[in-house]
Amino acid sequence: MKKRLITLTLAALLLSGCSLYRMNIQQGNLITQEELSQLRPGMSQAQVQDILGTPLLTDDFRQNRWDYVFYLKEGNKEAKRSGLAVFFNQAGQVTDIKHDKLAN
């Protein structure tokens, strides 16, 4: 009986030290402030792609918009998301840039 109690106590102590580990999940394009500051109206699509890389989302119906989305989920915390939309005119030059920073 005493051995069983000791075994159960040890098992309970070992299991209480275990907790669920959740890996950080990072997806998409993280846009740094340095990269963002390089963007200017009038730039070509090739120049934007050189700075930011390939956009995560492009729309077949609106090819004048490139979306760069970043998603971060750290462990058990709430997910954070940021996005950058770059708009082009018919000539393929930047006309507008919209950026929302990391938010829950």
Whether 5 is covered by a domain: the verdict is no
CATH number of the domain to which 80 belongs: 3.30.1450.10
Whether 14 is covered by a domain: the verdict is no
Q: How far apart are CA 54 and CA 77, in angstroms?
A: 28
Whether 87 is covered by a domain: the verdict is yes
Whether 12 is covered by a domain: the verdict is no
Query: For 71-80, how does the pLDDT look when each residue is reduced to its tens digit (9 = 90+)?
Result: 888 888 888 8
Query: For 31-42, how does the pLDDT look when each residue is reduced to its tens digit (9 = 90+)?
Result: 888 999 999 999
For the CA atoms of 35, 41, 42, 47, the dihedral, rounded to the nearest 10 degrees, stands at 10
Its domain, for residue 36, covers 22-103
- Residue 47 near residue 39 (C-beta atoms within 8 A): no
Domain count, the chain: 1
pLDDT at 56 over 70: yes
